[in-house]
Structure 1
Amino acid sequence: MEKGGAVRCQRIGCDAMFTEENNAEGSCRYHDSPIFHDGMKEWSCCRQKSHDFSLFLAIPGCKTGKHTTEKPVTRTVSANPQKPMPLPSAAQNKKPDDSCSRCRQGFFCSDHGSQGRPSKPSVVTAKKDDHVEQAAAPSVKKIVDLNEPQICRNKGCGKTFKEKDNHETACEYHPGPAIFHDRLRGWKCCDIHVKEFDEFLNIPPCTKGWHNADGA
């Protein structure tokens, strides 16, 4: 600013002309930055608001200080921000292929889109006269035919089984997690690492448990 030349104050709510000589502390009355949201105009400093822009600018400044030539920064706020929804990939829409060794053992497969699911299947039985008080909506339970052949999705298993033959040592699998690091593939559960993926799939399982058609 040139010395002695009058300029316009850029503070919102002031708009006065000033020079360096008459720019004393308290000579400027102004507002902090305005907030515009859903048609409403509001001052962030004193929370006074108006739908009409002319009435909004006429609200007297609530702060005092020196005049300035620096322009304030405004911001726009939405009351209902919309977050972008991720689009599912093509692989996520595909179903596991039971003939694929990766899909059978519960690994993610870029060709068939197999995905791991929660482990440990639960079988719930209830007597006819039982009265259970539930605080939340009951979960939907999967009804399985005891003689229906199913494929175990536990990592390292991939065998076909029937629920009637399932028991706590029927399945041999890796609880994991699987580790892929520096071109080595292995299991943290049994601390075995190899270089090739086919060798990784052939690492003997280290744990016994229930077969699980939903995957570990």
Structure 2
Amino acid sequence: MTTTTGRLRCQRIGCDEFFSPDNNLENSCTYHSGPPLFHDGGKEWSCCKQRSHDFSDFLSLPGCTKGKHSSEKPVVKAAPSPNARLPQPINTGNSALDAAKAACIRCRQGFFCSDHGAQQPTAGVAKPVPATTVQTAASESSGIVKKAVPSKVFDINAKQVCKRKGCGNTFTEKDNHQEACNYHPGPAVFHDRLRGWKCCDVHVKEFDEFLEIPPCAKGWHDANPQDAA
């Protein structure tokens, strides 16, 4: 990709900066040199072992290798995880259903399956009590009253990075509006060597093609989408 000023966008995964071919210095680019790993619901870079369960956070993990910028798109394929362990389908007590789950790829991987239902926790296993609930109960019993958390103060001219999936652009609240952001509202889907987005039902085989799938929704830029959830 070339801009009107003749600068090129670096195609190395994890960089995405603009550079000039005449001033492309060694160590000016920070990128991921290895392919991504997808297993057990997590995402990991094979080159530096950085991992995340959230896909937008995974794409934001800083690169681990330095070198020159490159305008050539790397050929990157998702590598199989050498230590990936597939969860076993839960025993439901129905021999026919258990046999069907054992033969189903999605059930063996622990994903929701429309044919056999979602994996449910086994009976008798108590749900963990959130730490916030325990802390709140302890504070109330001891008579401690916590101070209200002050509301955040934003600088409308401060530059922020949109964390919506598929966006990643820099914006200011002053220029933000309801059609400023192009993003994917749905989760990423990785299944049977295909990668895609549930929201727009587009799936491809190659990881670099997955990164090029155009967003399907418009909205406000959001630097903290988890806060708005």
TM-score, length of structure 2 as denominator length = 0.37
Larger Rg: 1
- The structure richer in helix per residue is 2
